[in-house]
């Protein structure tokens, strides 16, 4: 798979998400959500769920777990996804369409890592 495949899959998953998401909670999750709501004095549990998704995402990025899964499935990293090009393309390699992205002349080593 490639960066284009990842873009397509992210867009499809985004489109599949409704504005309102219904999730069944098990007993432990319900208890933990209730405890967080009471301790943080949050009336809207939806806000806690939003915060939890942000924290899980950030933790997954910080630990490299997201890059591990992206690399094993799509052969790209999160940084490559954000930039819209692979490291190879940034370094002057060949892009996904097979076209050379290299620089000519003395500048061809400027972006190599």
**Residue 101: both structure tokens together:** 């992205």
3-state secondary structure of 100: strand
What tens digit of pLDDT does each residue of 64-113 get? 999 999 999 999 999 999 999 988 888 877 655 565 555 454 555 444 43
What tens digit of pLDDT does each residue of 22-69 get? 889 999 999 999 999 999 988 888 899 999 999 999 999 999 999 999
Answer yes or no: pTM beyond 0.85: no
Instruction: State how far the Cα of 79 lies from the Cα of 92, in Å rounded to an integer.
Output: 17
As beta bridge partners, residue 94 has: 100
């Amino acid at each position: 798979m490639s960066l284009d495949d990842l873009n397509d899959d992210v867009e499809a998953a985004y489109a599949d998400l409704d504005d309102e998401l219904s999730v069944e909670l098990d007993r432990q999750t319900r208890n933990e959500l209730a405890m967080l709501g009471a301790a943080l004095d949050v009336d809207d549990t939806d806000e806690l769920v939003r915060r939890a998704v942000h924290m899980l995402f950030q933790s997954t990025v910080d630990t490299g777990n997201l890059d591990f899964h992206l690399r094993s499935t799509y052969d790209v990293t999160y940084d490559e996804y954000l930039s819209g090009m692979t490291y190879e393309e940034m370094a002057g390699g060949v892009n996904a369409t097979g076209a050379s992205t290299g620089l000519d002349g003395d500048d061809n080593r400027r972006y190599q890592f």
